[in-house]
């Protein structure tokens, strides 16, 4: 596992003063009760966890604490229960899976706060693990209620945030707690911020970014931030249609954000002024309807998309060009698929990018839920340098925005 004794956030390249955040390595944990915010927001079907990736991602921090005699209190959200108890989102399946992976008992309580939780925390012995109920059952969680944060703070001596996937949320368990306890990062948080931050601030060049997904409006901040940093920017997915429309291309029934055409033109002009190579599709896979079994064919952007048809993937010539561009890169960040990859007829573009990244002799980072799902579906995840566990958090980090869950942690100099 790659390690960092500390990591920087708000580096000058992001427009702020560099800060070195303390990690769990920087504090004494033996015999202490440690409240660890993890991201166990995993898919559950019929009482079983169907993908334990996020649970496994938290294991290095949990095992580090256990091995050093800490008394571990784990807290996570699951789903969107909207501030009330909902049996669909209880963490019992998570507790069972965590216990299996750890190979040791994990005590689960049926509340996130209150007398039952306080008693369970008091009874912990060195090396014990306690899992609280879904923190979003509490109405004060998403409101960052100080009273709720203080109630959790009373359970422990130290706060560790290892939930990068929730670091962009200013909630009681992700940011509020840090006001009442010494607060440091776990190993997953350290790795996420360390690897992505280093790639953005001090990349090995050429530095390329591949941005896809449905809408330009979802990623305006990402595009604007990356234009100033990367050497090559490749765009695909539905959002490419808006850029093509801004250039006067005929898009038929393709998804186009008409209210973002001026924004698209501004981004293209900015890329040109900065000398950033901005690659758009030269051909498209189009379909006569939005369905997996639709009739499809390839058209060039010069000829345009016929009326009644819609672009659902980048075309083979675009895929070839994108592979060629990425082959010479030393750092690549990818966020967003090139098309409707869930349907085989429209998955070739996303597969081409995934295969190209797997062949890169340098740093490759995949962020965003759909991109991660794509590389995992295609069996290429283990060939990437880093697969981010955070969807929205990864996106906001790529925008250069401060993440509340990171900002709340102690600077290393504070120790």
Catalytic one among 323, 392, 401, 412? 392
The whole-angstrom separation of Cα 178 and Cα 169 is 13
Is 82 catalytic? The answer is no
Evaluate whether 363 touches 328 at the Cβ level (below 8 Å).
no
The whole-angstrom separation of Cα 258 and Cα 415 is 52
Identify the three-state secondary structure at position 56: helix
Measured at the CA of 20, the angle between CA 17 and CA 24, to 5 degrees, comes to: 155
The whole-angstrom separation of Cα 270 and Cα 275 is 9
Is 339 catalytic? The answer is no
| CB contact set of 118 (below 8 Å; sequence gap of 6+) | 154, 155
| CB contact set of 105 (below 8 Å; sequence gap of 6+) | 99, 128, 129
Catalytic one among 68, 215, 323, 412? 215
Is 362 catalytic? The answer is no
Measured at the CA of 294, the angle between CA 292 and CA 295, to 5 degrees, comes to: 140
The whole-angstrom separation of Cα 358 and Cα 31 is 43
Catalytic one among 369, 390, 391, 405? 369
Identify the three-state secondary structure at position 396: helix
CB-CB neighbours of 414 under 10 Å: 12
Evaluate whether 356 touches 334 at the Cβ level (below 8 Å).
no
Residue whose tokens read 């996570």: 76
Catalytic one among 33, 54, 71, 321? 54
Evaluate whether 37 touches 148 at the Cβ level (below 8 Å).
no
Is 392 catalytic? The answer is yes
- Active site positions, annotated: 54, 215, 369, 392
């Amino acid at each position: 596992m790659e390690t960092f004794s500390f990591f920087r956030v708000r580096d000058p390249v992001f427009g702020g003063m560099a800060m070195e955040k303390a990690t769990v390595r920087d504090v004494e944990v033996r015999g202490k009760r440690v409240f660890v915010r993890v991201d166990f927001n995993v898919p559950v079907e019929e009482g079983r966890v169907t993908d334990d990736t996020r649970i496994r991602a938290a294991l290095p921090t949990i095992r580090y604490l256990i091995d050093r005699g800490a008394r571990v209190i784990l807290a996570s959200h699951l789903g969107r229960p909207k501030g009330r108890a909902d049996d669909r989102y209880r963490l019992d399946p998570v507790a069972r899976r965590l216990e299996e992976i750890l190979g040791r008992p994990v005590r689960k309580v049926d509340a996130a706060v209150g007398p039952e939780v306080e008693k369970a925390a008091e009874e912990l012995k060195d090396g014990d693990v306690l899992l609280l109920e879904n923190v979003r059952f509490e109405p004060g969680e998403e409101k960052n209620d100080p009273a709720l944060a203080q109630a959790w703070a009373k359970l422990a001596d130290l706060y560790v945030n290892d939930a990068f996937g929730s670091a962009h949320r200013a909630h009681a368990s992700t940011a509020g707690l840090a006001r009442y306890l010494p607060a440091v990062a776990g190993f997953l948080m350290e790795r996420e911020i360390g690897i992505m931050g280093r790639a953005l601030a001090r990349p090995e060049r050429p530095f390329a970014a591949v941005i896809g997904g449905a809408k330009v409006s979802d990623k305006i901040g990402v595009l604007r931030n990356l234009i100033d940093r990367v050497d090559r920017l490749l765009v695909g997915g539905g959002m490419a249609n808006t850029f093509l429309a801004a250039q006067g291309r005929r898009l038929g029934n393709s998804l186009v954000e008409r209210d973002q055409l001026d924004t698209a033109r501004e981004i293209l002009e900015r890329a040109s002024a900065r000398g950033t190579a901005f690659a758009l599709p030269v051909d498209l896979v189009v379909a006569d309807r939005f369905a997996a079994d639709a009739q499809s064919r390839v058209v060039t952007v010069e000829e345009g998309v016929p009326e009644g048809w819609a672009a659902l993937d980048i075309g083979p010539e675009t895929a070839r060009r994108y592979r060629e561009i990425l082959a010479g890169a030393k750092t690549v960040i990818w966020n967003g698929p090139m098309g409707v990859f869930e349907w085989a007829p429209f998955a070739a573009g996303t597969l081409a990018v995934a295969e190209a990244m797997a062949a890169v002799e340098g740093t490759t980072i995949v962020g965003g839920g759909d991109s991660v799902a794509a590389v995992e579906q295609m069996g290429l995840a283990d060939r990437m340098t880093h697969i981010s566990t955070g969807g929205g958090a990864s996106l906001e980090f790529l925008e250069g925005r401060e993440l509340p869950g990171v900002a709340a942690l102690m600077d290393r100099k504070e120790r």
